[in-house]
Amino acid sequence: SQTIHQWPATLVQPVGSPLSLECTVEGTSNPNLYWYRQAAGRGLQLLFYSVGIGQISSEVPQNLSASRPQDRQFILSSKKLLLSDSGFYLCAWKLQGGPGELFFGEGSRLTVL
């Protein structure tokens, strides 16, 4: 069966520090991968998605970047965090080839102080 792992689960970082959140999917090949952010009291904002290794589409210009170094690995990064980067970050995957179900990780809660 397929599983998705996301870490770290909780992170407290000072303004200006770097960020790396990692997501790994097991049990499937060539998935579409996604990073969403959920700010307090708000909905889900799509940040990045990827349809293959090295292929990244950015939805919102911002302080963050994403990379897909391997087929089932998706990394969210920042060189210098801002206060506004605080939120709940969710990685997700789905099968290629249609508007199917998204499978989400457990999320990473980032607090920037």
Partner 1 sequence: GDSVTQMEGPVTLSEEAFLTINCTYTATGYPSLFWYVQYPGEGLQLLLKATKADDKGSNKGFEATYRKETTSFHLEKGSVQVSDSAVYFCALSGTGGFKTIFGAGTRLFVKA
Residues that bind partner 1 (CB under 8 A): 6, 32, 34, 36, 42-44, 46, 49, 51, 57, 59, 90, 92, 94, 97-102, 104-107
Closest distance between partner 1 and the C-beta of residue 41, in Å?
A: 9
Closest distance between partner 1 and the C-beta of residue 15, in Å?
A: 25
Residue keyed to tokens 């980067």: 85
Nearer to partner 1, 69 or 99 (CB): 99
For 2, 3, 21, 62, 68, the CA distances from 39, given in Å and listed in that order, are 27, 25, 16, 14, 24
Residue keyed to tokens 């302080």: 63
Is the alpha carbon torsion for 101, 103, 107, 112 positive or negative?
Answer: negative
Nearer to partner 1, 15 or 39 (CB): 39
Closest distance between partner 1 and the C-beta of residue 79, in Å?
A: 26
- The tokens for 8 are 């770290």
Nearer to partner 1, 40 or 83 (CB): 40
- For 63-73, letters b (16+ CB in 10 Å) and e give ebebbbeeebe
Nearer to partner 1, 17 or 49 (CB): 49
Closest distance between partner 1 and the C-beta of residue 66, in Å?
A: 14
